[in-house]
Amino acid sequence: MNNQIQILIIDDNEKNRDLLRNLLSKKGFDIILAPNGKIALNLIKKNRPQLALINPVLQDVSGIEILEKIKILSPETERIAMIDFTDYDILKQVTSTNAATGFLEKPVDETRLAVLLDDILNRNKTQLETQRTLDDLFESYNQIEFLLTILSNDYENYTEVLNIVIDLLQSSELSDSQEKSLKILNDLFFNNTRLIERFNNLLSLGETQPANFKKIDIVEVISEIINDIKSKNPSCKLVIPKKLIPGKYFVRAVYDELVMLFTEVFYSLSLPMSDLCKSIEVLIRESEILENPEGNNILSIEVDIRSSLNSAMSDDDNSIVDTTHQQYGFGFFLVKSLVDNFNGRIFLEDSKIKNETITKMVIVLPSY
């Protein structure tokens, strides 16, 4: 047992203090003693021990008052009241304040004390492990943010050069094979631009605050994104049923990040600029699949997106896009992070039917 725990014994009875000190010192605990309330509070401020064993009946000040002050001065200190359970008045006073985190019956039984200490040690170990994990995650987040910043800058420089090359080639007479090569460069340029956008979006994820959530018409947002994709690639068949008109489905979100979310979804599923876009159908409905913190179901909006992508390619097809399976990776991580920010859920299912990849993605967000 690792007993690197400091214990403060607060009792104006010297015999009781010495008994507990001898008992706990044998087990390797660091013991400090307080014969009255004034000394106890000074020791609490100075040492902030992990555990305080407190006699609530003190001569100079109420032990219950000491319990409450320790709770304020050192909230992390476990506050164990040592009580004669036949003294109902004291027992009632202590339990009514919620200032104690536990109780020991007087006279203190060694076995019960050992069980209590084991429980505190295990909780202390868990808290330390949790804190170490949080520290590691925070450090990892900082490293990832730094890496993303570098990658974003590198990709921006690379993409700028690539764009210049494409502009030069487009102004020249090209053979068929050169035209196909130019098509590959265009695809690279588009994918690089999207990757830079993803980097920047990922860096901004932590800025979403529930206090900034507003009422947003989900149909208007999705319609705007779909119209933008169709204008860039008319071959894409993105369909929103006519019955889905603005003014019916509202969610709680931040507008810019909601646009970011569904832009990422539709670009990932439709693969615009690759000549492989086939069809996407969007359905929106109400449900009660989400729960509030109390565990009760709440009104939600489900955005059901179903895409069909033909994966049949000719032998001379030079497309850089692999359609033998959907590739989510970074894009899906970004989508999932955004959905989590809005306290929603996401469901994803892929299936293959002959030469087609069928994807069903359902995004559930809290209704306004």
The CATH number given to whatever domain includes residue 317 is: 3.30.565.10
- Give backbone dihedrals phi and psi of 170, rounded to 5 degrees, phi first: -70, -20
* Number of helices followed by number of strands (H, E) in the chain: 9, 12
| Alpha carbon of residue 211 to chain centroid | 17
Separation in Å, CA 69 to CA 11, 97, 208: 16, 12, 37
- Segment 190-196 shows an average pLDDT of 62
Residue that is last in its domain, among 73, 108, 143: 108
Q: Would strands 279-291 and 297-310 be described as parallel, antiparallel, or unpaired? A: antiparallel
- 73-87 pLDDT tens trace: 888 888 888 888 788
C-beta separation of 303 from 282 below 8 A:
yes
Average pLDDT of span 156-174: 67
Query: Tens of pLDDT along 117-129?
Result: 888 777 777 776 7
Same domain, 98 and 220: no
Grade residue 9 by pLDDT with cuts at 50, 70 and 90.
Answer: very high
Domain assignment present for 298: yes
Tell me the mean pLDDT in the region 94-118. 83
Terminal C-alpha separation, the chain: 52
Residue 217: its pLDDT value, please? 94
Give the model's pLDDT for residue 190. Answer: 62
Of 50, 83, 108, which one is at a domain's C-terminal end?
A: 108
Q: Does residue 183 lie in a domain region?
A: no
Same-domain status, 218 and 360: yes
Q: What does the pLDDT look like over 217-272, one tens digit per residue? A: 999 998 888 888 777 777 667 777 777 788 889 998 888 888 888 888 887 776 65
Whether 243 is covered by a domain: the verdict is yes
| 323 falls within a domain | yes
Query: What pLDDT sits at residue 301?
Result: 92
Highest mean pLDDT among 122-126, 323-327, 328-332, 343-347: 343-347
275 is a domain residue: yes
In a domain, 193, yes or no: no
Segment 150-155 shows an average pLDDT of 60
* Prediction pTM value: 0.44
Residue 321 lies in a domain: yes
Residue 77, domain CATH: 3.40.50.2300
User: Are residues 363 and 240 both part of a single domain?
Assistant: yes
Instruction: Report whether pLDDT(167) > 50.
Output: yes
Q: Give the domain extent around 243.
A: 207-368
Distance CA 354, CA 352 (A): 6
**Residue 141 predicted with pLDDT over 90:** no
Residues 221 and 333 in one domain: yes
At residue 322, what is the residue type? D
**69, 216: one domain:** no
Amino acid 251: pLDDT: 92
Residue 154 has a pLDDT of: 63
Report helix, strand or coil for 192: helix
Confidence of residue 31 (pLDDT cuts 50, 70, 90): very high
Give the confidence band of 320 by pLDDT, cuts at 50, 70, 90. Answer: very low
Asked if pLDDT for residue 307 goes beyond 70, the answer is yes
Split into its structural domains, the chain has a count of 2
104 or 333: which leads in pLDDT: 104
88 & 214 share domain = no
Task: Report the percentage of the chain scoring pLDDT > 90.
Answer: 10
pLDDT at 161: 65
Residue 332 domain-assigned (yes or no) = yes
Beta-carbon count within 10 A of 23 CB: 15
pLDDT in the model for residue 280: 80
| Confidence at 2, pLDDT banded by 50, 70, 90 | very low
Examine the fold and report which residue of 108, 124, 152 is the final residue of a domain before the chain moves on: 108
On whether the CB atoms of residues 10 and 37 are closer than 8 A, the answer is yes
Q: What is the pLDDT of residue 316?
A: 44
Rounded CA separation 271/333 (Å): 17
Q: Residues 221, 362: one domain?
A: yes
- Using DSSP's 3-state secondary structure scheme, residue 119 falls into helix
Mean pLDDT over the full length of the chain: 77
Q: Once rounded to an integer, what is the mean pLDDT over residues 142-147?
A: 65
Which is more confidently placed, 357 or 194? 357
